[in-house]
Amino acid sequence: MAIFERSETYAHWTTVKTRLNAYTTPNSISISISNPCGTELLAYTAMSLLTTGQYYYNYPIPATAPFGEWSVKVRSISAGGNTSIKTSYFYILPWDIITQIEYETGIKSGKSISDDALASIACKAYEEVLNDVFYYWHDEKLGCTGGVAGTCACCSTGNIDGSNKAFNTGHRPIADHDGDGSVEGTDATLCGVDISGYWIDSNCDCQTSYITVNSAECGDITVTQTSGAAIPSNAKGAYVTYWTETSHFNKDLLRQATVFLSSYHVANRFGNLDRSTQADLQQVQNQVYRTPPAKRFLDSYRGLLSLIAVPKCGGSK
């Protein structure tokens, strides 16, 4: 199974054979693992020998591992010095979404559709839902006069005076837009950044801000130059871009919405399911649908989205 959750153990097995299909022992064989951001978390490390030509490595998945597609590379060096690298993938998802997709669609992973393909669809659907469900605030201005909310269109608080580093966003709570379980700024320790920003210097040049989220619920952030110094008093403006949750945001509904959107994409892949062969489907596919399954899944998704989402654009300068 190529689909895992956080804190589980990913076991990778590989075999090494000669051109004549006989198991053989290479001079060395090692494995590296990279997260969805492309960061190598496990540098090439020797794999364990089970028996001639058969090797394995157990990788404990971190409790804070980012969701998505993880890359695995196995490097084998033969006795003659020839090097070969084989790349494969596994997926980390926030919950057991695959079982739920199989239940809704009647399609069984590993038979009609590969585990990797189904996991890839689920990951992309999850990203799509996160984009749809949160409100987007683009280039919201920080540093309202006197630090009084409401004196600028942005309604944020905090002064740009050359020493202040404490600000509050004009809207809250700041959302976990990348869905990794943590709301982070440009100091992100995982993959995604949920709030980013920049400031304009006295020469009207754009400079990147360094942002730390102190409280997502209250919109409490620390904003500095990349050096850690406060934004200078002669700056012509400082701006942040982020997402917020609605007051009726619900994680359970978000997960249900992801299942229906994933099912919609799967149904499209299989020609709306009702035209699939018996071998493609489980017993549930014998149900007579008055509405084509793909549309039914999409309607269900949109219905759930309307309960937890808001329009997608906002912001002010």
User: Whole-model pTM?
Assistant: 0.72
Q: Which of 121, 132, 123, 97 shows the shortest CA–CA distance to 266? A: 121
Q: Which of 291, 140, 150 shows the shortest CA–CA distance to 209? A: 140
For domain 135-244, give the fold.
Immunoglobulin-like (2.60.40)
Q: What is the H or E stretch that residue 40 is in?
A: strand 40-46
Q: What is the per-residue pLDDT across 31-79, written as a single tens digit (0 to 9) for each? A: 999 998 888 999 999 999 999 999 999 999 998 888 888 999 999 998 8
Sheet containing strand 195-200, edge to edge, reads 135-142, 237-244, 195-200, 206-215, 220-225, 166-168
What pLDDT does 82 receive? 86
Q: What is the H or E stretch that residue 301 is in?
A: helix 293-308
What pLDDT does 85 receive? 94
Which residues make Cβ contacts (< 8 Å) with residue 78, sequence separation at least 6? 26, 27, 84
Quick check: do 3-92 and 135-244 share a fold? Answer: yes
Per DSSP bridges, beta strands 166-168 and 135-142 are unpaired
The CATH architecture to which 3-92 belongs is Sandwich (2.60)
**Euclidean distance between the first and final Cα of the chain, in Å?**
48
Which residues of the chain fall short of a pLDDT of 70? 1, 108-112, 144-157, 189-190, 271-291, 310-317
What pLDDT does 288 receive? 40
Which residues make Cβ contacts (< 8 Å) with residue 253, sequence separation at least 6? 304, 307, 308
Q: What is the H or E stretch that residue 73 is in?
A: strand 68-77
Beta strands in 188-254 (DSSP E): 195-200, 206-215, 220-225, 237-244
Which residues make Cβ contacts (< 8 Å) with residue 275, sequence separation at least 6? none
- Please report, for the chain, the start and end positions of each structural domain, with discontinuous segments joined by +: 3-92, 97-132+248-308, 135-244
Contact (Cβ atoms closer than 8 angstroms) between residue 32 and residue 75: yes
